Amino acid sequence: MSRSCKSLFVFALFLAPTVALAFDHYAGVGRQATPAEVKAWDIDVRPDFKGLPKGSGNVERGQELFEEKCASCHGSFGESNEVFTPLIGGTKPEDIKSGRVSGFLTGDIPQRTTFTKVATISTVWDYIYRAMPWTAPKSLKPDDVYAILAYFLNLAEIVPGDFTLSDKNIAEVQARMPNRNGMTTDHGMWPGPSAKKGGIGNGGVPDVKNVACMKNCKPEVQIGSTLPEYARTAHGELADQNRSFGPVRGTRTLGPEAAKKAADAGTLELATKSGCMACHGIKSKIVGPGYNEVVARYQGQPDAESRLVAKVKAGGQGVWGNVPMPPNAHLKDEDLTTLVKWILAGSK
Amino acid sequence: MGDIKQAGRLRPAPENFLSAEQITAVGSGRRDFLRKSFLAAGAALAAPLAARAADGDPDILNLPPWATSLGLPVATNPYGMPSKYESQLLRRESPGLTRVGGASVSFAPLQGLFGIITPSGLHFERHHQGWHDVDPAKHRLMINGSDPAFLKKPKVYTMDELMRLPSVSRIHFIECGANTGLEWGNVAVPTVQYTHGMLSCSEFTGVPLKLLLEDCGVDYKKARYVLAEGGDGSAMTRTIPMEMVESGEVFVAYGQNGEMLRPENGYPLRLVVPGVQGVSWVKWLRRIEVGDQPYATKDEAIHYIDLQPSGLHRQYTSIQECKSVITTPSGGQTLLSPGFFNVSGLAWSGRGRIKQVDVSFDGGINWKTARLEGPIQNKALTRFNVDWVWDGKPAILQSRAIDETGYVQPTYGQLRKVRGTKSIYHNNAIQSWKIVEGGEVSNVQVL
């Protein structure tokens, strides 16, 4: 090998890592995805409609599908606030012209709905197709999605009642989206290059500037807000959300009475979940004895708790008649003890 | 203060002879435990108690059962669990925050955690359509391009294959963009679990995404954006800039704190996007697509957009800016007595390392620099501690973090001046805890 050849070879080696080394580099690891596999999973639809499947659907069909598959959560008109925040509402005909939801400018917007916020119709198409209905995601066909979206658009008064939405006209509908001009990327919280460099935002410049003053930083302390009394107790017994030892204790917010009530409610839930309440009533016999009868029988016996724990665990027959109690080996010991204590204490 | 039990403190009063647990035992008529331990000490039940109290702490003088009996054998609990005395520290929901458990949040109990690593079982949860325990043998990661020109070869990887590749292990915080979101307008929740508990920090192990994209022959010149997609029902998607991937920071993780990811945290594979809000750390990660423009997915065009006073929504706000909070003492706790305390908290920044944390005891008039526990890591939680002697008088505790870019954590007044109160996301304001005489700590906002 001549000298010049050698240096060429060395040069090529230096180049290699950036150009070719990494590609297909790991023998035995990874394989090419088949076209069918990519098609099955590559379901995203971008704002420029890349990825949008061909198809169409009209308002009428959309209403039928929506009533059948969506209305139980969203309400028949997408207005429901019961399970999720409303889809429809808060947009006005003039918003369609301006592309800005005027309620955000005037402050006259009781609740933000999907259509007050979303600027890109592709987002809604993409999301319904990939994630809806709630309990059966990815079960809708593209034509179903077009129809349901057509129904939304009609409810939001963006298209008329006889409208058919399709891959052909969706871009025209985009031009009527009420909040299409309502987004800004002029901020410093995008972790990539700035808009000036072909990316998004201002390149990471923060919008607030605090100064690390150390001494006599202000004449007085201005309290803007304190914890409302209802909020103090809305999260349960705070004493029970902290360790029982250490430098602090959880503050007792509900008092022992309410804490016991909360604990009892939890135990009743445990009893229900564990299947106890199917056969036992608190104050009445169902299949097995009522808990009041159990208490009456075991009252005053020093080993009542341990005996009952053993009985519930192993099951039994004869003490209360001929209907056998099945063994409950699946119950955790600590749950079993909690349940038995609760029963003996009157199961309130 | 009446409920606070000061077990272990040496006091002459005979009622303190019994531990809190023993008092409960007596109250409930369960005397067998007591009888046993006292008989063992050779004492009769009632009379000698007061006499012995003068000699010292009964928890010292009366040897406890664990010192005088045989303990349990190894592997009694093949997967170890916390002590039964730790049952108060749990992930909890905030009542009324959401209406569907499958699209909800559970908060990590920051008020009781130490150091910077969140125990995996207490890691906060945020699901968009419920969680599954995904079968790792059936899980696949697909990498493709929005255009065939962006990637030479779309590929599929199994877990077997991903776990053969060169791995990295790094400690990073993850914070939901909506953490502290309940507090934009006013104080709304009582404890640090609910104000700041959508925050966790783990050691994650996995494969740099850069390595996988290059294995597929990515064209970095054309593909400047990455879409990450989940394998759950919501198939959640988020856009990430290619610069972050090229830097080597972003990785697909299967390990968390030495074991596999927990199902609630994306088992068997999730994306780790250091410094960026949790929603981008896509769980049950099934697909990565490289493209040439952002995707405006549901969680970056309908949710996770920040409403500004102008009426515009900020879109693609992703970085979690510098923030801190005192966790001990914090809202909903009560100090045991005046005297010495180690005030402790957490600081973090999505822009890098924490440089300094200052703590104020007078609502922000004067500040004292806290000790940082090292090593201080990039985009990870940093624990800070500072000595304090509480004189029993009212106080307002605050912490203020500064990151390596020089950015100083802002006040509520400063944040609201720019962003108003309806932003929901990215509230990194200085948190204040007010302490009253008697020791109760509560959540207040200082402007």
**pLDDT tens per residue across span A13-61:** 444 444 445 899 999 999 999 999 999 999 999 999 999 999 999 999 9
A215 belongs to a structural domain:
no
Q: Which residue on chain B is closest to A341 by alpha carbon? A: B28
Residues A60 and A163 occupy one common structural domain: yes
Give A1-37 as a DSSP string: --HHHHHHHHHHHHHHIIIIITTT-STTS-EEPPHHH
- B318 at A interface, C-beta within 8 A: yes
Number of domains in chain A: 2
CA distance B115 to B128: 29
B188 shares its domain with B286: yes
Instruction: Evaluate whether residue B176 is within a structural domain.
Output: yes
Q: Is A19 on the interface with B (CB under 8 A)?
A: no
The answer as to whether B381 is a domain residue is yes
Instruction: Using CB atoms, pick whichever of A221, A235, A240 lies closest to residue B189.
Output: A235
Tell me, what's the pLDDT at B46?
Answer: 45
B344 with B195, same domain: the answer is no
The answer as to whether B78 is a domain residue is no
Token output for B54: 């003068």
Residue B299 has φ and ψ, to the nearest 5°, of: -90, 20
Find where tokens 């009456």 sit: A296
**Which tokens go with A85?**
């925040």
* Chain B CB within 8 Å of residue A198 CB: yes
Tell me, yes or no, whether A203 lies in a domain. no
Is the CB of residue B290 less than 8 Å away from at least one CB of chain A? no
Q: Are B294 and A200 in contact (CB under 8 A)?
A: yes
Inter-residue contact B440 to B334 (CB < 8 Å): yes
Asked if residue A8 belongs to a domain, the reply is: no
Coil, helix or strand at residue A147:
helix
For residue B398, the domain's CATH number is 2.60.40.650
Residue B365 lies in a domain: yes
Domain boundary residue, one of A127, A158, A174: A174
**CB proximity B426 to A under 8 Å:** yes
Looking at the fold, whether B252 and B290 belong to one and the same domain comes out as yes
Whether pLDDT at A4 is above 70: no
Same domain membership, residue B162 and residue B116: yes
Within an 8 Å CB–CB cutoff, is residue B99 touching chain A?
A: yes
Chain B interface, best mutation among A32, A185, A249, A252, by max B CB count within 10 A: A249
Mark whether B371 and B310 lie in a shared domain: no
Weakest-pLDDT range from A78-92, A210-224, A233-247, A264-278: A264-278
Output the average pLDDT for chain B: 91
Residue span of the structural domain in which B429 resides: 323-444
Report the residue from A117, A200, A238 with minimal CB separation from B294: A200
Do B111 and B198 lie in one domain? The reply is yes
B436 touches chain A (CB under 8 A): no
Whether A323 shows a pLDDT value over 80: the answer reads no
Q: How many CB pairs lie under 8 A apart between chains A and B?
A: 358
If you measure CA to CA, which chain A residue comes closest to B189? A231
Q: Residue A307's pLDDT is what?
A: 82
Higher per-residue pLDDT: A266 or B170: B170
pLDDT at A258: 66
Chain A interface includes B332 (CB < 8 A): yes
The rounded distance, in Å, linking the Cα atoms of A215 and B388 is: 17
Report the pLDDT value the prediction gives residue A277, as an integer from 0 to 100: 78
CA of B342: which chain A residue's CA is closest?
A: A247
The arithmetic mean of pLDDT across residues A228-234, rounded, is 90
Query: What mean pLDDT, rounded, does chain A reach?
Result: 88
* Statement to judge: residues B61 and B158 lie in one domain: no
CA distances to A98, B183, B193, B251, B353 from A229, in Å: 44, 16, 18, 45, 38
Determine the residue among A21, A44, A252 to mutate to test chain B binding: the one whose Cβ has the most chain B Cβ atoms within 10 Å.
Answer: A44
- Which of A137, A157, A174 is a domain's end point? A174
- Asked whether residue A13 is domain-assigned, the answer is no
Contacting residues of A for B4, CB less than 8 Å apart? 249
Question: Among B68, B89, B113, which residue terminates a domain?
Answer: B68
Same domain (yes/no): B131, B236: yes
A167 and A63 in one domain?
A: yes
B224 CB neighbours in chain A (<8 A) are: 192, 198-199
Residues B423, B185: contact at Cβ < 8 Å? no
Q: Classify B350 as helix, strand or coil.
A: coil
Judging contacts by C-beta atoms under 8 Å, the chain B residues touching residue A204 are 319, 351
- Given B314, B331, B356, which residue is the final one in a domain? B314
Q: Are residues B197 and B242 in the same domain?
A: yes
Kindly state the tokens that stand for A59: 């308002």
Same domain, B129 and B254: yes
In a domain, B209, yes or no: yes
Number of domains forming the structure of chain B: 3
Which residue numbers in chain B have pLDDT < 70?
1-53
Q: Do A26 and B446 touch (CB under 8 A)?
A: no
Could you tell me if residue B239 is inside a domain? yes
Asked if B181 has any chain A CB less than 8 Å from its own CB, the reply is no
Nearest to B95 among A51, A187, A234 (CB): A234
Residues B301 and B376 in one domain: no
Please tell me which residue, A260 or B138, carries the higher pLDDT value. B138
Q: Has residue A115 been placed in a domain? A: yes
φ, ψ of residue B288 to 5 degrees: the values are: -125, 130
Report which residue type is found at B296. Answer: A
Listed range (A70-84, A240-254, A256-270, B265-279) with the worst mean pLDDT: A256-270
B19 touching chain A per CB within 8 A: no
Q: What is the CATH number of the domain that holds B157?
A: 3.90.420.10
Orientation of helix A291-298 relative to helix A333-344, angle to 10°: 80
Residue in chain A closest to B336 (alpha carbons) equals A248
My answer on whether B308 and B338 are in the same domain is no
pLDDT at A143 over 60: yes
Which of A174, A205, A235 is at the close of a domain?
A174
Give the per-residue pLDDT at A276: 78
Closest chain B C-alpha to A252 CA, distance in angstroms? 7
Contact yes or no for B188 and A226 at CB 8 A: no
Q: Can you read off the two tokens belonging to residue A274? A: 């564990």
pLDDT of residue A348: 64
Has residue A280 been placed in a domain? yes
pLDDT tens-digit readout, B49-94: 544 568 999 999 999 999 999 999 999 999 999 999 999 999 999 9
Q: Which domain holds residue A287?
A: 257-317+324-344
Chain A nearest-CA residue for B215: A23
The last residue of a domain, from among B280, B314, B348: B314
Per-residue model confidence (pLDDT) at position A259: 62
Q: CATH number for the domain including A311? A: 1.10.760.10
Classify residue B89: in a domain, yes or no: no
The beta-carbon neighbor of B316 closest among A200, A209, A232 is A200
Q: Do B442 and A226 touch (CB under 8 A)?
A: yes
CB nearest A131 (choices: B233, B301, B308): B233
